[in-house]
A and B are shown apart, each in its own frame.
Chain A
Amino acid sequence: MARVVVNVPAEAKRGEVIEIRTLAGHPMETGFRRTQLGELIPRDIIRSLVCTYNGVEVFRADFHPAMAANPLLTFTTVAAESGTLEFRWTGDNGFSATQTAAIKVL
């Protein structure tokens, strides 16, 4: 599986808005580049990132070729309850990567 990084605070107060930082290792080949011989290099990108919180989707993003390689995405969520955040990246050519993070909500 590709290298991914997820940064979620280990603990938070109930109702606190927490920042989540994600990073995925992926070249994000745009589909617009050409080889030295002029051949088009086919598109190969991450298409989507979905974040679920104890099974409920709390964030979703569609990625396009204009996202940089090794895409970073930072967003926020309300620390509602203790549990698990799951992150799933999917993309072209069957690309799939997942990561989980536990959070304790006081």
Chain B
Amino acid sequence: MKFCTVILSALVAAVSHAGEIPSAERRSGYEFMSRETRAMQDDEVTGPAVLWLLDGEALWGKLGCAGCHGDAKASMKGVAARYPALVDGKLVSLEQQVRHKAPGLASESRELLALSAYVARQSKGMEIRIDEKTKPLMERGKDFFHRRQGQLNLACAQCHDDNWGKKLAGNTIPQAHPTGYPIYRLEWQTVGSLARRFRNCLTGMRAELYAPGSPEFVELELYLMWRARGMKLESPAVRP
């Protein structure tokens, strides 16, 4: 009982100075991984995500994306680095935009992930840059990030702003920058979206799981991308 009180008061103390990570201290999840896991991400020939890139490239042709967009290497350069974005006044994530002419592609399907990975790859190395016009929606995402949720009454900020770098069950807490999505997560043994990763976090927090593509998730992604502004995109990344 006393132990619980100690933990609770530590958490309360922690949240009292919830502030954004200073720009100079911002680090991608890449820097929290072991050398060997980083090597898997850097392996552009036989890294596990390569299979999805090749599938995505094939789909780009097969689904007719090339008909309007031509060569993805040229037309998609910089795109992933500025999503989520306003399209016809509505905030959409990259995955949602990728299927704009192929609505049959199911959320979290292999095809959609492969195509998203392929599109995102064309912005690898570029700085994340979110349009200022999305600020009101970004603020909603920011509220979500700072709001206490679920059975543990935890806010994302408590781990990822206040306690990054410390250990949680043997693992180092990263800063939660979406610099590499869609990722090959070793835990999933496959490529998955940011929405899937959010759902994993929320499961860990014993909080409500929103659906992929829900406004909560797209706004949260928008906030996280804004929070990671200036950091370089690594898609498709490998993460534990």
Contacts and interface: CB of A to CB of B under 8 A. Distances in A.
Are A and B interaction partners? yes
Interface string A52-94: 0000000000000000111010100000000000000000000
Interface string B34-47: 00000000000110
Given A3-B51, A3-B54, A21 B46 contact: yes
A5 B189 contact: no
A69 B190 contact: yes
Contacts of B54: 3, 5
Given A27-B190, A69-B189, A70-B189, A21 B51 contact: no
Interface in B164-223: 189-190
A72 B189 contact: no
B190 A7 contact: no
Given A3-B51, A3-B55, A72 B190 contact: no
B189 A68 contact: yes
B189 A7 contact: no
Given A3-B55, A7-B45, A23 B190 contact: no
B72 interface: no
Nearest to A25: B51
B190 A5 contact: no
Which bucket holds chain A's interface residue count? 10 to 19
Contacts, number: 32
Contacts of A7: 45-46
B51 A23 contact: yes
Contacts of A23: 46, 48, 50-51
B55 A72 contact: no
A22 interface: yes
Contacts of A21: 45-46
Given A5-B54, A70-B51, A27 B46 contact: no
Contacts of B45: 5, 7, 21
Nearest to A6: B46
Contacts of B48: 23, 69-70, 72
Contacts of B55: 3
A22 B46 contact: yes
Contact of B50 (A5, A27, A74): A5
A7 B54 CA distance: 14
A84 B102 CA distance: 39
A64 B129 CA distance: 45
Interface string A1-12: 001010100000
Of A22, A70, A72, which is in contact with the most chain B CB atoms at under 10 Å from its CB?
A70
A68 B51 CA distance: 14
Nearest to B188: A69
Of B51, B54, B55, B190, which is in contact with the most chain A CB atoms at under 10 Å from its CB?
B51
Interface of B: 45-46, 48, 50-51, 54-55, 189-190
7 contacts: A3-B51, A5-B54, A23-B48, A23-B50, A69-B189, A70-B48, A70-B51
Question: Which 10 residue pairs are nearest across A and B when measured between Cβ atoms?
Answer: A69-B189, A25-B51, A23-B46, A21-B46, A3-B51, A70-B48, A7-B45, A72-B46, A3-B54, A3-B55
